[in-house]
Structure 1
Amino acid sequence: MFDLHRLRLLRELKHRGTLAAVAAALSYSPSSVSQQLTLLESEVGVPLLEPVGRRVRLTPQAEILVVHAEAVLARLECAEAEIAASLTRLTGTLRIAAFQTAALALVPAALTLLRADHPGLRVHVTQAEPEVALPALLARDFDLVIAEEYPGGPHPRPAGIERADLCADPLRLARPRDGQGPRPSGPRAALRALADHPWVMEPEGTAARQWALTVCRDAGFEPDVRFESSDLLLHLRLVEQGHAAALLPDFVWYGRPPTVPLHPLPRGHRARRIFTAVRRGRGAHPAVDACRQALRQACTPPGHAAEDSPAVAP
């Protein structure tokens, strides 16, 4: 029999990359983690780690062991979910990660619903982009992640993650109120009218930036990106002050009237998909189910409308 705690440490090393990162995440010393993994090697009877410079990597035998450790831990997640479901009152802690606009638009309303229905449930929320939050979900830093997927840029779907679609968030062209010229007719014409205008976009390397560049290039121009930020509220402020054009999701408004002129985008680019992700075996946990139900309710705020709004099915 292999020690489950040591198997968990090996799995953590697979996901976090270094002994120091494992130690920091679990509040151990690196030497303690190393000692436990040495004992696991003795149990298994083959080397599990090999040095690469100043770091270590898993041997092929360790990779095999991690696959089985993942299956064991997934079964334990199922057991925990069944035990929680057998109780009459929902308690414990649920750790959520959400990207910025979902944290602003959905999380507060969902927390209100959860507090009313499940006062014994403690909820921790961290703002984190999907690129960071999804790997952290696999590393067990979070129990549920709210993530986004832009048109034409699907996320990889690791076997250890279960996802459920939440809603579609419409995406629109936001232009400054300069009052110059007639209002463009048609989505591509509206984009081309801003071909020589400064733009604000998310940083290079992000899915949102790649999608935004594709939208502009499909309209026939290369955008002059003078401002870069992952903060979409800054994008909005730059548009409001006439410094830039932007491509903004409706979550920025979320039930409030828009403060800048908006135009629909060409077909194929009109909405990003919002989804929740949990580790395999965790989806049946009543705290996760309650959170997903609250988030679905939060997706339809009263008076949610925007200028030039096309019908977008969730």
Structure 2
Amino acid sequence: MLDVRRLVILRELAVRGTLAAVAQALSYSPSAVSQQLSQLERETGMVLLRKAGRGVQLTPQAEVLVAATDELLATIERAEAELAASLTEVRGTVRVAVFQSVALALMPAALRLMAEAHPQVRVEMVQREPEQALHETWARDFDMVVAEQYPAHAAPWWPGLDRRDLTSDVIRLTLPPVGVAPWRVRDLAGAAAVPWVMEPRGTASRHFAEQLCRTAGFEPDVRHESADLQTQIRLVESGNAVALLPDLVWRGRTTTCRLVDLPDRPCRTVFTAQRTSGLGSPAARALRTTLEQVAAG
């Protein structure tokens, strides 16, 4: 019989791409990972890895084992969910990845409600960029992810993930208070010649913001980059930049910024995603339901 732990290591290599990444994810040394994979080759009597440049490439036989391991892990996760559902009390651990505005606006209330209603559930929250977190949830690093999708920018799709919309919020042009900045802006077209703050290149929000400006007939002067939306707000409030920010960032706080509607009132969609094999988990289901209640409120 094949060693399940070695099969999991092979799957981790397929998911993460390098021996070093597998070693880091599993808290092994790279040499230990290599030794386990060599042992798996001896067990199967087949070549599973071939050198490809400085890395390795999975053979077709390895891909067969990876697919079987995926099914095995999904079966185990479903069994764990069914076992948890057989108890009279909701208990267990849920690891959830969230992005910043959700961590600030929704998670504090959700965590409080979970602690009151389900004291035997341990919720572990980690802040991640949405696209990275979707991949990591598919890879089984997290049980759930709260991610976002901007207009005309599809979120990455990973097989076996169940997506459910959580809420949507309007994106508005965010301007400094009157008299704070040395320039005067009233609308998007008027922001063609002023400094902007945006998230780093490659993010969905940056792509959306740049495309919106280009549609309005100008290339934005992005002088400041920050993935921290609280930093963006401070730069706008102090008169150093303008920004495009979704309404969720204002929940629970006041601001002196001026919020201006954009043409067609574009909205960002916030959603949760779980592996379908984990949908039966009472703890994860309770957290998802609680998040929906908080978002609706």
Q: TM-score range by the shorter chain?
A: over 0.9
Hey, what does 1:221 align to over in structure 2? 218
C-alpha separation between the residues in 1 aligned to 2:223 and 2:28?
Answer: 45
* Identity across the alignment (%): 54
Task: Indicate which of 273, 277, 298 corresponds to 2:273.
Answer: 277
CA apart distance, 1:31: 2.6
Root-mean-square deviation (Å): 1.9
**Segment drifting more, 224-233 vs 272-281:** 272-281
Hey, what does 2:232 align to over in structure 1? 235
Hey, what does 1:205 align to over in structure 2? 202
C-alpha separation between the residues in 2 aligned to 1:160 and 1:181?
Answer: 50
TM-score calculated relative to the size of structure 2: 0.93
CA apart distance, 1:183: 8.3
Could you say what secondary structure the match of 2:296 adopts?
coil
Hey, what does 1:288 align to over in structure 2? 284
Hey, what does 1:311 align to over in structure 2? none
CA apart distance, 1:134: 1.7
Contact 1:15 1:138 in 2 (8 A): no
CA apart distance, 1:182: 9.3
Hey, what does 1:52 align to over in structure 2? 52
- Residues 70-81 of structure 1 correspond to what in structure 2 (within 5 A)? 70-81=70-81
Q: Which residue type is aligned with residue 101 of structure 2?
A: T
CA apart distance, 1:22: 1.6
C-alpha separation between the residues in 1 aligned to 2:158 and 2:218?
Answer: 35
Q: Which residue type is aligned with residue 222 of structure 2?
A: V
Hey, what does 1:264 align to over in structure 2? 261
Q: Which residue type is aligned with residue 231 of structure 1?
A: D
Hey, what does 1:306 align to over in structure 2? none
Contact 2:138 2:158 in 1 (8 A): no
C-alpha separation between the residues in 2 aligned to 1:54 and 1:227?
Answer: 37
**Segment drifting more, 120-129 vs 48-57:** 48-57
**1:81-112 deviations in Å (ceiling 9; x for gaps):** 11111111222221111111111111111100
C-alpha separation between the residues in 2 aligned to 1:238 and 1:30?
Answer: 44
Q: Which residue type is aligned with residue 274 of structure 1?
A: V
Hey, what does 1:95 align to over in structure 2? 95
**Segment drifting more, 35-44 vs 148-157:** 35-44
CA apart distance, 1:220: 1.7
C-alpha separation between the residues in 1 aligned to 2:289 and 2:281?
Answer: 12
**1:142-190 deviations in Å (ceiling 9; x for gaps):** 1111111111111221113222111112211111123599985xxxxx1
Q: Which residue type is aligned with residue 12 of structure 1?
A: E
Q: Which residue type is aligned with residue 127 of structure 2?
A: Q
C-alpha separation between the residues in 2 aligned to 1:164 and 1:248?
Answer: 23
Q: Which runs of 5+ in 2 are unaligned?
A: none
Alignment pair present for 1:157 and 2:157: yes
Q: Which runs of 5+ in 1 are unaligned?
A: 185-189, 302-314
Aligned residues: 295
Hey, what does 1:16 align to over in structure 2? 16
Alignment pair present for 1:127 and 2:127: yes
CA apart distance, 1:284: 2.0
Q: Which residue type is aligned with residue 8 of structure 2?
A: R
CA apart distance, 1:197: 1.3
Hey, what does 1:112 align to over in structure 2? 112
**Segment drifting more, 230-239 vs 34-43:** 34-43
CA apart distance, 1:2: 2.8
181 and 27 in structure 1: CA distance in 2 versus 1, 3 angstrom threshold: closer
Contact 1:151 1:272 in 2 (8 A): yes
TM-score calculated relative to the size of structure 1: 0.88
Alignment pair present for 1:139 and 2:139: yes
C-alpha separation between the residues in 2 aligned to 1:247 and 1:182?
Answer: 17
CA apart distance, 1:233: 0.6
181 and 199 in structure 1: CA distance in 2 versus 1, 3 angstrom threshold: closer
CA apart distance, 1:11: 0.7
Q: Which residue type is aligned with residue 229 of structure 1?
A: S
CA apart distance, 1:57: 1.9
CA apart distance, 1:214: 1.0
Contact 1:178 1:242 in 2 (8 A): no
